[in-house]
């Protein structure tokens, strides 16, 4: 019996070390993973599509796709997976975890860099290593149009104005 228990415990310890989550948090995430997958070993997009907390999120699609983007798994290759296991699930969730208090400056710098890369990957929807004007416009319009008082045309105008500002600052540098 002790042997069967050491497998998951060791696996959870490895995940805790890799992701910064505590072992208790890993156990809770495992329970949530099994709930989402209905006790299957892998998670698919449709499992995440059923998460009620994501239903009203304006960038819901990007969040869901982030779980299946190979770049977010620490792999150098590009592309998307059709399903992921528990380790990949926890790896992606770790990007949403705040840094621990009293994190050393160098480690904080690395954490910020990883989180920025994750956010970049989330919005580089065609996996080409560039966030195009269309990709940027899509994200900003989705975020702004989620507010009922801002219509689609106003969101587009705000997006275009922001892009002009970025272009002016970049060209002016």
**Extents of the domains making up the chain:** 2-101
Q: Show Cβ contacts of residue 130 under 8 Å, excluding neighbours closer than 6 positions.
A: 124
Two structure tokens written together for 40: 């299957």
Q: Nearest Cα to 37, choosing from 75, 85, 88?
A: 85
Reported pTM: 0.78
Cα–Cα distance measured from residue 156 to residue 163, given in angstroms and rounded to the nearest whole number: 11
Q: Is the pLDDT of residue 27 over 70?
A: yes
Q: Nearest Cα to 136, choosing from 60, 74, 59, 70?
A: 59
List pLDDT tens digits, range 47-93. Answer: 999 898 888 888 888 999 999 999 998 767 788 999 999 999 999 99
Give, rounded to a whole angstrom, the gap between the first and last alpha carbons of the chain. 65
pLDDT of residue 146: 67
pLDDT of residue 5: 46
List pLDDT tens digits, range 28-56. Answer: 999 999 999 999 999 999 999 989 888 88
Which H or E run contains 43? strand 43-44
Q: Is the pLDDT of residue 1 over 70?
A: no
CATH of domain 2-101: 1.10.238.10
Q: Is the pLDDT of residue 101 over 90?
A: no
Longest dimension (CA), the chain: 68
Two structure tokens written together for 158: 């705000």
Average pLDDT rounded to a whole number, residues 7-28: 89
């Amino acid at each position: 019996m002790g042997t069967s228990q050491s497998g998951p415990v060791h696996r959870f310890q490895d995940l805790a070390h890799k992701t910064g989550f505590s072992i208790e948090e890993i156990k809770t995430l495992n329970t949530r993973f099994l709930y989402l997958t209905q006790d299957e070993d892998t998670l698919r997009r449709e499992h995440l599509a059923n998460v009620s907390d994501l239903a009203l999120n304006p960038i819901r699609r990007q969040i869901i796709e982030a779980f299946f983007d190979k770049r977010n798994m620490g792999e150098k290759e590009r592309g998307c997976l059709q399903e992921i296991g528990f380790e990949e699930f926890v790896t992606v969730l770790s990007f949403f975890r705040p840094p621990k208090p009293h994190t050393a400056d160098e480690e904080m710098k690395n954490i910020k860099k990883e989180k920025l890369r994750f956010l970049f990957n989330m919005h580089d929807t065609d996996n080409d290593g560039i966030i195009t004007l269309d990709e940027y416009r899509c994200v900003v319009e989705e975020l702004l149009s989620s507010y009922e008082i801002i219509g689609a045309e106003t969101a587009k105008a705000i997006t275009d104005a922001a892009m002009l500002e970025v272009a002016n600052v970049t060209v002016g540098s």
